[in-house]
Structure 1
Amino acid sequence: MTEETLLVLGCTALTPWGRDQLRRLCEQARRRGLALAGADTADNLRTATPDELARYDTVLPLDVHDADACRAWAAGRRALHPAAVATIRELSVLPAAVIARELGIAGNDPEVVRRVRNKDLCRERLRDAGFPQPRTALCADLADAERFLRENGPGPWVVKPRDGLAGIGVSRVDRAEQLPEALGKFGSPPAAMGALPASPGFLVETFVAGAEYSAEGVLVGGVPHVLALTRKGTGEGFVETSQRVPSGLDEATAGEAAGAVARALTAVGVTRGVFHVEFWVTPDGVVLGELHDRGGGDYIHALVEHTRPGLELYGTLLDDLLGRAPAPVPAASGAARAEFPLAPPGRLRAVHGWDEVRRHPAVLAAHLRVAPGDVIGPARDSYSRPAVLVAGAPDADAVDALVAGLTARIAFDTEPGTTAV
């Protein structure tokens, strides 16, 4: 029998949690007897480590962020005939859907993916389906944004890219005078991201006041299955500083949130994949935020698998794509948390306590993303946080106490007065 092949679109990663996602995806694919083909941009393949590329039987250069390039590749394929295509990367979700459509294999409708990716279109669909949503406008320039603020006061408001990711370019605006600074963020993405595709217009939304959470899960047979609810911790400028499973929501609110997420995914037309859906809990109930037809970052995938011992999140996805019966979902158990310690701005002289924390037996993963001599600025998005640690414990209170104690041992020694360029 010919071995089936999984095409991994975006087979390298910039972040430690992205590399861990790819590791788990590849391992779970191997356990299902799949050959692995990896595709990525020529630049990413050139800078990838040998260990990253060694996971794949075949590696091919392809602009995995360009849907047209991926469609052309699929239409002219020769030796490679993948049975399934998967990605962990936001910018490759649409190209993956286009390849699946061209090859006639399981995947989301590309038009549905475009709708989810463009946040205003997704909000419009949800609003039409009866879900409460913040008021939103697609703006072309400063004048459009100022008009929205005048007509939808008194504020605050949120300004963000139409199809952004990782918190890049997101600002809270309390008065119109702050708009030029907020719009200026669109032109300076993190260097690690490379050149992001240009987005037509930007969004201004009314601010939703409420505690922030997300729902994680996978679709099987077109039906969304919520596997965990995640409590978020945020700092200044919407930068996420922690993720924890379980969420701590009461049973009624958790049920309301999970039900809303499942109905919303169905309403917008998502039928395949791992999902990550953000929401707020407000005095008036659950309000859905952004929908993503890919898994969450920040090691959320590890939190989900740790708190459902034996679960193979990506394996369940692959079983669905290949038409195989998935294994039963294990019961929820225990707690896990990802924490992002922040550092005072300045030139880093040393980090104290990190090795001790990294070796703690309850720590599942730990990565220091800065080194002495680096100039650390304020954390502005997911790519500018200096460190991450992930830990597990028997319950939510225990994991919070554990992580608080571990974080207290870490000290970033920075020389003040030096700023990042």
Structure 2
Amino acid sequence: MTEAMLLVLGSTALTPWGRDQIRRLCHQARRRGLALIGADTPENLRKATRDELARVDTVLPLDVHDADACRAWAATGPAVAAVVTIRELSVLPAAVIARELGIAGNDPEAVHRVRNKDLCRDRLREAGFPQPRTALCADAADAERFLRATGPGPWIVKPRDGLAGIGVSRVDGPDGLPAALAAFGAPPAAMGALPASAGFLVETFVEGAEFSAEGVLVGGVPRVLALTRKGTGEGFVETSQRVPSGLDKATAEEAADAVARALTAVGVTRGVFHVEFWVTADGIVLGELHDRGGGDYIHALVEHTRPGLELYGTLIDDLLGRTPAPVPEAVGAARAEFPLAPPGRLRAVHGWDALSRHPSVLAAHLRVAPGDVIGPARDSYTRPAVFVAGAEDADAVDALVAELTAGVTFETEPDGTAV
């Protein structure tokens, strides 16, 4: 009997957590008897590792970021039972392929709404959710008008459809706009050229602690599996993720309910989701919605704290019309930590090998080597290291992470290029 085929749109990854997502996704699909087509851009496939290529049965060169190219492929390509992606830039092409093939997937219009943050905020406001005031701007003059109308500030300036914290800045007045707008044109080198965005956003700043909700939709109903507490450094760079969140029961229930209602309001019906929110003095305020899983090993935190859960397997079961296994109870705690290094030319890293061998460390990746020039961490792609640890509860995992981090030293020397 011919195996049903699963199309993995964006089958390679730049980050260690992305590669782990693909590994888990492919393993869980294999357990369900599926053959795998791994689609990615020709450039990404040329740079792919042997392991990445070996995870799939068929390698498909395709511009997985271009909805029209993916629609054209679907019109003539082999029939697939389902299409999945972990990649932000491929969520719309995945929805377009699903519609073209008549298989389960999100409405492309709903995906477009979520990808363009101003449209998403408009829909959430219409549905009664509190949201920051937002303006879609074409240039600095538009932004200055919004600042004058909504003072005294501060404000957030960011791409309309960005990702990974790239180009996000806080400004306290018009004097900060030139530097904020310049950040749009300087993505991490590893990302290559990003698609041009139609305008940029300026939003009023939301004061509150930042969290996110992780889950999967089953039968069109959002299931929140975990709430994640995030730590941030200078410039909104995320420096840690922890499950459980530490929120009290009433606040956690309020947040989970708001997230589920919001996903329904914007029209998302399929997929793994990652929804950011703030806990403010006036209640829950939703941030960005994503109809794909969170980065930073958040998927591993969710699966570790629900032993036996197959996050991507649950998604695949839903897309294929199968009944997913019951969700295991939440136990324990897990945390992803991103130690930062002082800017300069790296001479040595001390203590990393010992950290990597610790029995409670689930994953550890050093992304820099001696001789590299380390600049300030500006987004998800410019942090020098990451590790993931598990423990019996939130206090224990925080204490363990603090101990492990204290044992690592990045030795750098001044370098004029580290700016």
TM-score normalised by the shorter chain: which range applies? over 0.9
Letter matched to residue 43 of structure 1: E
Letter matched to residue 70 of structure 1: C
Q: Find the counterpart in structure 2 of residue 404 from structure 1.
A: 402
Spell out, residue by residue over 1:287-306, the C-alpha distance to the aligned partner (whole angstroms, 9 max, x if none). Answer: 00000000000000000000
Q: Find the counterpart in structure 1 of residue 283 from structure 2.
A: 285
* SS class of match (2:324): coil
Q: Find the counterpart in structure 2 of residue 256 from structure 1.
A: 254
Q: Provide the TM-score with structure 1 as the length reference.
A: 0.99
Q: CA deviation at 1:175?
A: 1.4
Letter matched to residue 74 of structure 1: A
Residue 202 (structure 2) aligned to one of 201, 204, 219: 204
Provide the C-alpha distance between the structure 2 equivalents of 1:51 and 1:367, rounded to a whole number of angstroms. 17
Any unmatched runs of 5+ in structure 2? none
Residue 87 (structure 1) aligned to one of 68, 85, 88: 85
Q: CA deviation at 1:81?
A: 1.5
Letter matched to residue 45 of structure 2: L
Residue 350 (structure 1) aligned to one of 339, 348, 351: 348
Residue 372 (structure 2) aligned to one of 346, 371, 374: 374
Provide the C-alpha distance between the structure 1 equivalents of 2:127 and 2:414, rounded to a whole number of angstroms. 52
| Root-mean-square deviation over aligned CA pairs | 0.6
Provide the C-alpha distance between the structure 2 equivalents of 1:178 and 1:55, rounded to a whole number of angstroms. 46
Aligned length: 419
Q: CA deviation at 1:417?
A: 3.9
Residues 7 and 86 of structure 1 are in contact (CA less than 8 Å); yes or no, is this contact kept in structure 2? yes
* SS class of match (1:383): coil
Letter matched to residue 324 of structure 1: R
- In the alignment, does 2:411 pair up with 1:416? no
Provide the C-alpha distance between the structure 1 equivalents of 2:403 and 2:207, rounded to a whole number of angstroms. 30
Provide the C-alpha distance between the structure 2 equivalents of 1:27 and 1:277, rounded to a whole number of angstroms. 25
Q: Find the counterpart in structure 1 of residue 149 from structure 2.
A: 151
- In the alignment, does 2:274 pair up with 1:246? no
User: Identity, % of aligned pairs?
Assistant: 86
Letter matched to residue 49 of structure 2: T
Residues 353 and 411 of structure 1 are in contact (CA less than 8 Å); yes or no, is this contact kept in structure 2? yes
Letter matched to residue 348 of structure 2: A
Provide the C-alpha distance between the structure 2 equivalents of 1:157 and 1:380, rounded to a whole number of angstroms. 18
Residues 216 and 224 of structure 2 are in contact (CA less than 8 Å); yes or no, is this contact kept in structure 1? yes
Q: Find the counterpart in structure 2 of residue 45 from structure 1.
A: 45
Provide the C-alpha distance between the structure 2 equivalents of 1:339 and 1:164, rounded to a whole number of angstroms. 23
Provide the C-alpha distance between the structure 1 equivalents of 2:43 and 2:2, rounded to a whole number of angstroms. 32
Spell out, residue by residue over 1:222-272, the C-alpha distance to the aligned partner (whole angstroms, 9 max, x if none). Answer: 000000000000000000000000000000000000000000000000000
Q: Find the counterpart in structure 1 of residue 67 from structure 2.
A: 67
In the TM superposition, 1:172-321 aligns within 5 A as: 172-321=170-319
Residues 345 and 418 of structure 1 are in contact (CA less than 8 Å); yes or no, is this contact kept in structure 2? no
Q: Find the counterpart in structure 1 of residue 30 from structure 2.
A: 30
Provide the C-alpha distance between the structure 2 equivalents of 1:200 and 1:94, rounded to a whole number of angstroms. 16
Residue 102 (structure 1) aligned to one of 76, 100, 112: 100
Residues 336 and 393 of structure 1 are in contact (CA less than 8 Å); yes or no, is this contact kept in structure 2? yes
Letter matched to residue 302 of structure 1: A
Q: CA deviation at 1:419?
A: 2.8
Provide the C-alpha distance between the structure 2 equivalents of 1:108 and 1:191, rounded to a whole number of angstroms. 31
Spell out, residue by residue over 1:191-233, the C-alpha distance to the aligned partner (whole angstroms, 9 max, x if none). Answer: 1111100001000000000000000000000000000000000
Q: CA deviation at 1:12?
A: 0.2
Provide the C-alpha distance between the structure 1 equivalents of 2:416 and 2:346, rounded to a whole number of angstroms. 10
